A and B are shown apart, each in its own frame.
Chain A
Amino acid sequence: MNQRKILIVDDELSVRKSLEEWFREDGFQVETAEDGEAALKKLPAGPFDIMIIDLKMPGMDGMTLQKRIREVDRDATIIILTAYASVETAVEALKQGAFDYLTKPVDPDDLSHVVRNALRQKELTEENLRLKEKVSDLSLPTPIVGESPKMQHVLDLVRTVAETDSTVVIRGESGTGKELIARAIHAQSRRRYFPIVAVNCGSIPETLLESELFGHEKGAFTGAQYRRKGKIELAHGGTLFLDEIGDISPKMQIDLLRVIETKRFTRLGGDQEVTSDFRLVCATNKDLEKLVEEKAFREDLYYRINVFTIQLPPLRERTGDILPLARHFVQKYARAMAKPPMEFSPEAEAMLLAYRWPGNVRELENAVERAMVIGKGPAIQRADLPLALDGEVADPKDLSLEALEKEHIERVLAQHDGNVTQSAQVLGIDRATLYHKIKRYGLRR
């Protein structure tokens, strides 16, 4: 532990000496000064954890000294010491930012408490600053790799809208990185010190989604043994990110519209209104306008959420980003797998650029991760990539039926943004079977 430093400013030698001895016995490094001028000259010997300043001194008095110190150290912890006890002086000293006020002679216990409290407050202030910096670091979004003009335009839009509290709809194909953009908006907003709470509306059955979003009271339904806060409540102060908003049921659309308009709701089984101050960011890969036309999506909800739209380009429309993204994922998985970063062979690079990437960035990430697992040499080869160009069929002769099934499921999942219901439909199996296979093959959704 670093030795704490204290500056004692008092014109009486006996007081200086007494306090110096007291604080030295308490393990402090002590500096003393006989007046304000001497104290100011001692400041460079700091920083001091605490300064104890006598109020009445010849020349510069304690109040003036406090002001002068604050000019150079706004956060100095100052305790005023005086022989002239008066409420007015105490109030004035505190108004000017003194931590506390002690009247001479001081009860040892009072001195001990005030110093202890001052140190505790200083520690908490310092810890608060450290945590804020840490939160800032943590809330920095995953780096968005995108030098192409289309992605640069998207990032401009993110910066513009982040400063506002407007609702944002992020649109784009599966795997284009909609959640990443939502997190980037949150991280650059004034709400960044509060949580971003993400809900994938498409992956949760309607009955569960209601409880997930609004929470429930104890006994609201079978199994509701305790009160549970919903995601909307948990997003208080921060951002609520509703992914796959186009997939929610008509009833849920009504409930959601009401919450967005009033920011008030009740938990399931409850009658007490709860308020939540959140910023809404939605995402979808559906054609919302078409859904409105087909009456599958409420027009009033559409207009309520469609305040600011960010359209994410598919990866095939920003081919300039493919290789930088691929290298970024190599770095990411090299760290995760504790492997040296791998290069791409010229053939592999050509393959990456020629491929159409229907599963977009997510598919690219999966392909790179897989290549790094199976790749043997210092460079990733074309054969390490599980890709087939248009008109080209991946040669399955070396693959077992199981490996073929794994690859196919992986690809379908990537193309449907990890949505198990949609992927199961495409694969022609039920959800439980798909979950079983995902677990068996260790796939990521």
Chain B
Amino acid sequence: MAPPVFVAFLNGYTPPWAGQAIQRLAAILPCPIRRIDLRFDLRPYYAPERRQHHATLLLATLLRHLPEPTGKIVGVTAEDLFIPVLTFVFGQSQLDGPAAIVSTYRLHNEFYGLPADEELLRARTVKEMVHELGHAFGLVHCRDQVCVMRASTYVEEVDLKDSSFCAACSAALRSPRSRPAAGSAGA
């Protein structure tokens, strides 16, 4: 059996659709999905001048909390994330590595001055979780218009793609040695 993916909604962040998101993840990824509770002090990761949390440092911490060394972990946070060179990221992961993190901060409709839409937020979060876990499984960006591995730097681009992998990425996921060709740059 494939090693599990552990999903951690960080520090008690429990959106009403968390269970549905995990079910969807289980339907897409070829491995067992297990939800874990994970709480730790976020202050060391906060950059006051940017009012954002450092995604790369958070990844390192997630890694320390990985329940099984062969598994993978994806953290979900409501905080805004950054990496030093970029203004923000929707998520961050280690290519072919065990950890990934996703922020719902910029996936909310309210961030863009629009009415709240929990269903849309769930769909966007699932897509970003699958996308970052795809990287953790060794997939790079894909040129397919609707593949979940397509790069997206705008939330509208997240909406345009599906939550599942295209045929090429699915095949590469099953046999990691034959990863598809790279697409264009994106978040």
B72 vs chain A, min Cβ distance (A): 15
Interface centre among B50, B92, B186 (most CB of A within 10 A): B186
B62 vs chain A, min Cβ distance (A): 15
Residue of B nearest to A6 (CB): B185
**Chain A positions 17-76 with a Cβ under 8 Å from a chain B Cβ:** 17-19, 21-28
The residues of B that contact A115 with a CB separation of less than 8 Å are 184-185
Bits for A1-26, please: 1 = Cβ < 8 Å to B, else 0.
10110000010101101110111111
In the bound assembly, the distance between CA atoms of A1 and B82 in angstroms comes to 31
A129 contacts partner chain B, Cβ-Cβ < 8 Å:
no
**Would you call B153 and A25 a contact (CB within 8 A)?**
no
**Chain B positions 33-91 with a Cβ under 8 Å from a chain A Cβ:** 50, 56, 82-89
Residue of A nearest to B57 (CB): A14
Residue of B nearest to A116 (CB): B184
In the bound assembly, the distance between CA atoms of A28 and B82 in angstroms comes to 21
The residues of A that contact B95 with a CB separation of less than 8 Å are 21, 24-25
Contact A4 to B151, CB < 8 A, known contacts A18-B85, A25-B140, A111-B86: no
The residues of A that contact B186 with a CB separation of less than 8 Å are 26, 108, 112
The residues of A that contact B171 with a CB separation of less than 8 Å are none
B154 contacts partner chain A, Cβ-Cβ < 8 Å:
yes
**Chain A positions 199-225 with a Cβ under 8 Å from a chain B Cβ:** none
A-B contact count (CB 8 A): 87
**Would you call A112 and B153 a contact (CB within 8 A)?**
yes
**Would you call B85 and A106 a contact (CB within 8 A)?**
yes
**Would you call A12 and B84 a contact (CB within 8 A)?**
yes
Interface residues on A, range: 20 to 34
The residues of A that contact B93 with a CB separation of less than 8 Å are 25
A104 contacts partner chain B, Cβ-Cβ < 8 Å:
yes
The residues of A that contact B184 with a CB separation of less than 8 Å are 26, 112, 115-116, 119
B182 contacts partner chain A, Cβ-Cβ < 8 Å:
yes
**Would you call A18 and B83 a contact (CB within 8 A)?**
yes
**Would you call A104 and B135 a contact (CB within 8 A)?**
no
B141 contacts partner chain A, Cβ-Cβ < 8 Å:
yes
A107 contacts partner chain B, Cβ-Cβ < 8 Å:
yes
B187 contacts partner chain A, Cβ-Cβ < 8 Å:
yes
**Would you call A112 and B151 a contact (CB within 8 A)?**
yes
**Would you call A108 and B187 a contact (CB within 8 A)?**
yes
Residue of B nearest to A28 (CB): B182
B183 contacts partner chain A, Cβ-Cβ < 8 Å:
yes
The residues of B that contact A81 with a CB separation of less than 8 Å are 85
B109 contacts partner chain A, Cβ-Cβ < 8 Å:
no
**Would you call A105 and B85 a contact (CB within 8 A)?**
yes
The residues of A that contact B85 with a CB separation of less than 8 Å are 10, 14-15, 18-19, 22, 81, 104-106
B28 contacts partner chain A, Cβ-Cβ < 8 Å:
no
**Would you call B84 and A27 a contact (CB within 8 A)?**
no
The residues of A that contact B88 with a CB separation of less than 8 Å are 108
The residues of B that contact A119 with a CB separation of less than 8 Å are 184
**Would you call B87 and A107 a contact (CB within 8 A)?**
yes
**Would you call A18 and B86 a contact (CB within 8 A)?**
yes
Q: List 9 A-B contacts (CB under 8 A).
A: A10-B85, A18-B56, A21-B83, A26-B151, A26-B185, A27-B182, A105-B82, A105-B87, A108-B89
Shortest Cβ-Cβ A-B pairs, 10 listed = A27-B182, A27-B140, A109-B153, A18-B83, A14-B84, A108-B187, A108-B153, A112-B185, A115-B185, A15-B85
